[in-house]
Chains A and B, each alone.
Chain A
């Protein structure tokens, strides 16, 4: 018997009972759909986390003072010492392997231009900020070291602030007012877009950190200093140097803990991606169970079908079908069911991922790997769960089968 004949026989058999064929496929459709959608959500989350961390500057290391919340300088050793301007200078001068360093003096304030005004976050930073944060300029350029030294009233605006205040116009050279003091806009940052938490990263204004301290916060310490290492490999060394330097500068004894917390983007990236990975596996596994249930559904229906079609099987044998032909026919039926279900399920999963993206704003990623795996897996499910019923059919005795009521 030709192989194409087996296909024809199997397809005709499935066509004879479209309702049952559809319902049997449904289990696989839902199973595969769920796997594809869940894995897409997990993979999307992982990619986004990685991308947003990468946006911050891949080799960035953040030094956060444990004492700085109060803004007071503690000379005692119990709650540590805030980061000072001298600490910052020491880091710049003594730590090797850095691309740049910047303090981050943060304050919320109102920024006005003409009769437009917006509430935004002002960051007092150094000339290295664009390098540390891996941020480029859309227009103009960053303020200079000289301007920082002189606590100049200059500002760089984020894309959202630029749009809100200036509409389509060019902000460079214009004067904005921050807490009623005039600042000259020298540059506009490129858009970064929203991050995973939905915060608009472009809603900010940069000013020299000196200006921020003197004119906006009135404090002389920093809560955060960020540095960018030359490469990922240098990060551990940079972290070690910083900790040693600060322990020494803050007179911390051997038995005392560090008074700063260090966040390293590489670690965060690893942590976040491994969390996302775990989530992907978990979601995929749950969805995989539903796929398995779909497979059992196929076996169930095929078994019922073999019993119900006993006479048909007897007839086929009477007109010349060999046991192997019957086996193959039922196996092909099961595989066609599962593979068609799989293909439709892939489409469904893709659709679900799209809907999730649009409704919840989560990014999703349907990878080629997951599509291929789902396809292969559904074929394997068809063979695996189709085999037992097929063998049962092939073992029937022709006369017994013909006589079956």
Chain B
């Protein structure tokens, strides 16, 4: 069973991680000597201007890309040594991804979209088990009533919830989100933050990239990047509670109506 903050082992440990893109004659140093530790149960926001290397760092942590140098331990295991197919299983079992563009399969119901990672699990599941798990994941993001709808019949916020449910379906210890609210309006963004905060309270470790300071305030720890380096790393002050913020929105809306 995956775990909680009580465990001493950090979920992520990076040691002078480097990523250099070689495009023709020019080498772009996208991530420079990043050393970072994220403990279980943290909720971290990675901030920084465009091109500062946030996405590159997320891809490295998400085992989608390999570093050019340095070390990375995920749950205590050195990832650099793993084969491509072992990395696939790591992505499948230990990580959950949420993308800015949702990346849902078109013409495929929300439920089947959520099932996707289960289909690639080393230990197969029966059809009924697939259904049960994906339904449970949709429940966690509050979208059971939309299970049969394809993405084209869902709003942006609902699509992102489906994407989150898909990230959760294999019950990973770590949730990675690259600008999860980038395509959403403010209110819907806060709804997504409400889901993240709820998951985090139940012990899920979350690492989220955002360039909106307002969104970063829903996390607990804020990391700032510039030119591939981590330039500041501190706890969030004046933290916001998404549920309260939503209540306030509701209030404003009602006042306007009145």
Question: Which residues does A use to contact B, with CB under 8 Å?
Answer: 1-2, 4-5, 8-9, 12, 16-17, 311-312, 315-325, 398-399, 402
**A16 in contact with B106 given A318-B64, A323-B85 (CB within 8 Å):** yes
Query: What's the nearest-Cβ distance from chain B to residue A400, in Å?
Result: 10
**Stretch of B67-75, B120-128, B182-190, B238-246 with 4 or more beta carbons under 8 angstroms from chain A:** B120-128
B92 within 8 A of A: yes
Check if A16 sits within 8 Å of B84, measured CB to CB: no
Q: Is B89 an interface residue (CB 8 A)?
A: yes
Question: Contacts of A4 on B, CB cut-off 8 Å?
Answer: 124
In the complex, the chain B residue whose C-beta lies closest to that of A317 is B88
Chain B residues with CB under 8 Å of A402's CB are: 64, 99, 103
Please give the residue numbers on chain B whose beta carbons come within 8 Å of chain A beta carbons, in ascending order: 59, 62, 64-65, 84-85, 88-89, 91-93, 97, 99, 103, 105-108, 112, 116-117, 119-122, 124, 166, 170
| Residue of B whose beta carbon sits closest to that of A3 | B124
Having A1-B119, A322-B88, one finds 20 other A-B pairs with CB under 8 Å, namely A1-B124, A5-B119, A12-B108, A16-B105, A316-B120, A318-B103, A319-B91, A319-B92, A319-B117, A320-B91, A320-B93, A320-B121, A321-B120, A322-B84, A322-B89, A322-B120, A324-B85, A325-B88, A325-B120, A399-B59
Known A16-B108, A399-B64, A402-B103: A5·B120 in contact at CB below 8 Å: yes
B117: A residues at CB distance < 8 A = 319-320
- Cα(A210)–Cα(B97), bound, Å: 102
Give the 7 A-B CB pairs with smallest separation, nearest first. A320-B92, A2-B124, A320-B120, A319-B117, A322-B88, A322-B85, A16-B107
Known: A319-B91, A320-B91, A399-B64. A5 touches B124 (CB 8 A): yes
Query: B107 contacts A320, CB within 8 Å?
Result: no
Q: Collect the chain A residues with CB atoms within 8 Å of residue B99's CB.
A: 402
Q: How near does chain A come to B155, taking the closest CB pair, in angstroms?
A: 20
Which chain B residue lies CB-closest to A312? B105
Complex A-B: 28 CB contacts under 8 Å? A1-B119, A1-B120, A1-B121, A1-B122, A4-B124, A5-B120, A9-B119, A12-B108, A12-B112, A16-B106, A17-B107, A315-B105, A316-B120, A317-B64, A317-B91, A318-B103, A319-B91, A319-B97, A320-B89, A320-B91, A320-B93, A320-B120, A320-B170, A322-B120, A325-B88, A399-B64, A399-B65, A402-B64
How long is the Cα–Cα vector from A2 to B85 in the complex, in angstroms? 15
Residues of A with C-beta under 8 A to B92? 319-320
| Minimum CB–CB distance for A30 against chain B, Å | 27
User: Which residue on chain A has the smallest CB distance to residue B96?
Assistant: A319
Closest to B90 in A: A320
Q: A1-B119, A399-B64 are known contacts. Are A320 and B88 too (CB-CB below 8 A)?
A: yes
Contacts of B124 in A (CB 8 A): 1-2, 4-5
Residues of B close to A312: CB separation below 8 A: 105
Chain B neighbourhood of A323, CB < 8 A: 84-85
Q: How far is the CB of B42 from chain A (nearest CB, A)?
A: 22
Task: For B109, give the chain A residue with the smallest CB separation.
Answer: A12
A4 nearest CB neighbor, chain B only: B124
Q: Give the residue name and chain of the B residue nearest to A17 (CB).
A: B107
Q: How far is the CB of B166 from chain A (nearest CB, A)?
A: 7
Give the residue name and chain of the A residue nearest to B115 (CB): A8
Q: Are A398 and B116 in contact (CB under 8 A)?
A: no
Report the separation of the CA atoms of residues A328 and B13 in the bound assembly, to the nearest whole angstrom: 35
* Residue among A2, A318, A325 making CB contact with B97, cutoff 8 Å: A318
B59 proximity list for chain A (CB < 8 A): 399
Q: Are A315 and B119 in contact (CB under 8 A)?
A: no
CB–CB A311/B103 < 8 A: yes
Residues of A within 8 A of B120 (CB): 1, 5, 316, 319-322, 325
Please measure, in the bound complex, the distance between the C-alpha atom of A2 and the C-alpha atom of B59, giving whole angstroms: 27
Closest approach, in angstroms, between the C-beta of B82 and any C-beta of chain A?
Answer: 12
A324: which B residues are within 8 A, CB to CB?
85
The answer on a CB contact under 8 Å between A319 and B108 is no
**A4-B124, A399-B65 known; A315 and B103 CB under 8 Å?**
yes
Identify the closest chain B residue to A16 (Cβ).
Answer: B107
- Selected from A311, A319, A322, the residue in CB contact (under 8 A) with B116 is A319
Whether A398 contacts B166 by the Cβ 8 Å rule is no
Least CB distance from B92 to A in Å reads: 3
Contacts of A325 in B (CB 8 A): 88, 120
Minimum CB–CB distance from B26 to chain A (whole Å) comes to 18
B107 x A8 contact (CB < 8 A) = no
| A319 B166 Cβ-Cβ under 8 A | yes
Other-chain contact of A398, B64, B89, B122, B170 (Cβ < 8 Å): B64
Measured in the bound complex, the distance between the Cα atoms of B226 and A224 in whole Å is 108
Give complex CA distance A320, B124 in Å: 13
Query: Contacts of A398 on B, CB cut-off 8 Å?
Result: 64
- The answer for the CA separation of A399 and B105 in the assembled complex, in Å, is 17
Chain A residues contacting B88 (CB-CB under 8 Å) are 317, 320-322, 325
Q: How far is the CA of A2 from the CA of B126 in the complex (A)?
A: 10
A residues in contact with B166, CB < 8 Å: 319
From residue A217, how far is it (CB to closest CB) to chain B in Å?
82
CA distance A12 to B119 in the complex (A): 12
CB distance from B182 to the nearest CB of A (A): 14
A17 to B108, CA, bound (A): 11
- Closest chain-B Cβ to A142's Cβ sits at a distance in Å of 74
Q: B93 — which chain A residues lie within 8 A by C-beta? A: 320
A320 to B170, CA, bound (A): 11
- Bound together, the chains give a CA A17 to CA B105 distance in angstroms of 12
Q: Complex Cα distance A9/B93, Å?
A: 19
For B169, give the chain A residue with the smallest CB separation. Answer: A319
| Residue from B97, B119, B170 in contact with A8 in the complex, judged by beta carbons closer than 8 Å | B119
Rounded to whole angstroms, the CA-CA distance of A311 and B124 in the bound complex is: 24
Tell me the smallest distance from the CB of B122 to a CB of chain A, in Å. Answer: 7
Most buried by B among A17, A315, A316, A318: A318
Nearest-neighbour CB distance to chain B for A324, whole angstroms, equals: 7
Residue of chain B at shortest CB distance from A309: B105
How close is A87's CB to chain B, nearest CB, in angstroms? 85
Return chain A residues, CB-CB under 8 Å to B112.
12
